[in-house]
Structure 1
Amino acid sequence: MSPTGRQKALQRHGLTETPEGLDVTWQGFQRAAKRALELRDAGSEEAARMVALSPDHPLRWEYARCIQIEAFTNEMSDTGF
């Protein structure tokens, strides 16, 4: 995958690169919240705990960041990057 393709994938997943690593954007948080609801409905206790937190809770944002990083990493693996 080209650097441009990688950047587009980051944007698709709502992630930005910072000097400390990847961070989640508001769009990424919203996508992750939807995924967390799906995981909760599938029986994930961790997702249920995270969804129960207020949207401004730092742990909920960290969980969202992790969900989006996992999705991004899976896409990169699928493309052989």
Structure 2
Amino acid sequence: MSTEERQEALSRHGLVETEDGFELTLAGFRKASRRALDFRKQGDPEAARMLALGPSDPLRWEYARCLAIDSFTAEVHQSRI
């Protein structure tokens, strides 16, 4: 994966890379929240607990960030195969 492709993937997943790791954008929060809704529909109790939190709750944002990182990482690994 080239640097340009990596940046495009980060943007697609709503992430920005910083010195301290990854930060979630508002678009990334929305996308991850939709993914969490799918998990909740599948019976995932963690997704249900996180979605019960308010949208401004830092724990919900952290959960969404983890979902975004997970999907970004899967895409990166898949591209290297």
TM range (shorter): over 0.9
| One-letter identity of the residue aligned with 2:72 | F
- Per-residue deviation, residues 6-56 of structure 1 (Å, max 9, x unmatched): 000000000001111011100000000000000001000000000000000
Normalised by the length of structure 2, the TM-score is 0.98
Q: For residue 56 of structure 1, give the secondary structure of its aligned residue in structure 2.
A: coil
Q: Give unpaired runs (5+ residues) of structure 1.
A: none
Percent of aligned positions that are identical: 53
What is the number of equivalent residue pairs in this alignment?
Answer: 81
Q: Quote the residue 1:60 is aligned against.
A: 60
Which consecutive segments of 4 or more residues in structure 1 shift more than 3 A?
none
Structure 2 residues not aligned, in runs of 5+:
none
Superposition RMSD in Å: 0.9
Find the aligned partners of 1:14 and 1:6 in 2 and give their Cα distance. Answer: 12
- What is the TM-score of this pair, normalised by structure 1? 0.98
SS of the equivalent of 1:69 reads helix
